[in-house]
Amino acid sequence: MRLPTILRGDGKAGRRFGAALRRWRRKRGWSGRELARRAEVSPTHYSYLELGRVNPPSEDCCLRFALALDLPPAEVLAAAGRVPAEVREAFRRHPGELLTCARALLGRLPEADAAGVEPDPDLGRDEK
Q: What is the pLDDT of residues 81-99, one digit of tens each?
A: 888 888 888 888 888 887 7
pLDDT for residue 128: 40
pLDDT confidence band for 111 (50 / 70 / 90)? low
Do residues 54 and 44 make contact, with C-beta atoms less than 8 angstroms apart?
no
Average pLDDT (94-110) is: 74
CA-nearest of 126, 91, 52, 108 to 117 is: 108
Q: Which part of the chain has CATH 1.10.260.40?
A: 5-82
What's the CATH class of domain 5-82?
Answer: mainly alpha
- Which of 52-90 are b and which e, b meaning 16 or more Cβ less than 10 Å from the residue's Cβ? bbbbbbebebbbbbbebbeeebeebbebbebeeeeeeee
Q: Does the predicted model carry a pTM greater than 0.75?
A: no
Asked if pLDDT for residue 38 goes beyond 80, the answer is yes
